[in-house]
Amino acid sequence: MRARPEQLPRQLNEGLAPLYLLSGDEPLLLQEACDAVRKACTAAGITERERITIEKPDNWQQLLSSAANMSLFGDRKLIELQLPSGKPGREGGKALQDYLDIAGDDVLLIIAGKIDKASTNSKWFKALDKAGVIVQVWPISPGQLPGWLRQRGKQAGLTIDDEALALLQHQVEGNLLAAAQEIEKLKLLCEDGQVSAATVSASVGSSARYDVFGMVDASLSGRAEDALRMLNGLRGEGTASAVVLWALAREIQILLQLQDAKNRGQDPTSLYRSLRIWDSKARLLNQALARHDTQSLSKLNELASAADGSIKGFA
């Protein structure tokens, strides 16, 4: 069954499906969709979580082994399958269909990169669509951004007037992670929940000395000492751990997509364009790619997933 991201909470309230396929290249929205599934699993009494990252075709056997083995405590478990490329290949497609034949009461959460049009017509995709819930996350268009910002503010208990909304939209430049960070700052600044243009200006003017995106850029360029110094500064200023993790996880996902293209002999230039990555950021990503391979990036992705579990209190 297909569902839009905004429909997922209602669907989860109606009961857990056997599997969820969440895909897309908008890290913040994808992360929040994953969190919603994890939260619903916890509410349903599922406390064990198993993580599997697909780095090579042999890894698919782990999924089938997990399905065949009961939880340590005999209870249901959440199996998280990370598929950064969004392409399972022939072996993966068969493994996913085989999983459906032997699956028990566990919940399978597949977290994938953007899935292309051709894949949506494949047998494995149609089988997952029939058996569970598929949510494809798309980037927010410029025309949708004002409504998204207003709704995000409402969820934070804020009422944003039109002038403030226009200023905020200009400030974040379509970056949803930056938008989420700004709204969290506004929540602290506005005790009465009313956000004016003056409030947004004050928030921008009081930007922290340490910048999340500066920390990420330092990490990409290999300046480990600078990145750690900025991270410590962000911690000292009370920046939310989830915001820092989102920023890092976003770049890890992009690097995995670029590495996958590199492994297949593709020119990354077109991928940079489709992801709307500027030349300055592309240079930083290329520096990071020169220091990493599929194995090391997959390990970083696992660490990010573990950090997310720690933040959310999900063992």
For every residue of 55-77, DSSP letters joined together read SSGGGHHHHHHHHHSPPTTSS-E
Mean pLDDT of all residues belonging to the chain: 87
CATH number among 1.10.8.60, 3.40.50.80, 3.40.190.290, 3.40.50.12780, domain 145-207: 1.10.8.60
> pLDDT per residue over 147-190, tens digit each?
999 999 999 999 999 988 988 887 777 788 888 888 988 888 88
Residue 106 CA to residue 64 CA, distance in Å, equals: 12
Residue 225 CA to residue 227 CA, distance in Å, equals: 5
Residue 83 CA to residue 21 CA, distance in Å, equals: 10
> pLDDT per residue over 81-94, tens digit each?
999 888 899 999 99
What confidence score (pLDDT) does residue 149 get?
94
Q: 133 by DSSP, 3-state: which?
A: strand
Binned at pLDDT 50, 70 and 90, residue 52 comes out as very high
Q: For the whole model, what pTM was predicted?
A: 0.66
For the packed helices 294-312 and 27-43, what is the interaxial angle rounded to 10 degrees? 50
State both tokens at 67.
Answer: 């399905």
Residue 216 CA to residue 223 CA, distance in Å, equals: 10
Q: Enter the CATH code of domain 221-315.
A: 1.20.272.10
Residue 41 CA to residue 76 CA, distance in Å, equals: 9
State both tokens at 127.
Answer: 């089988």
What confidence score (pLDDT) does residue 312 get?
73
pLDDT greater than 50 at residue 71: yes
Q: Which CATH architecture has domain 2-139?
A: 3-Layer(aba) Sandwich (3.40)
Torsion of CA 210, 308, 119, 4, to 10 degrees: -90
Task: List the domain boundaries for the chain.
Answer: 2-139, 145-207, 221-315
Q: Where are the beta strands (DSSP E) in the chain?
A: 2-3, 19-24, 48-53, 77-83, 107-112, 133-137, 159-160, 194-195
pLDDT greater than 50 at residue 208: no
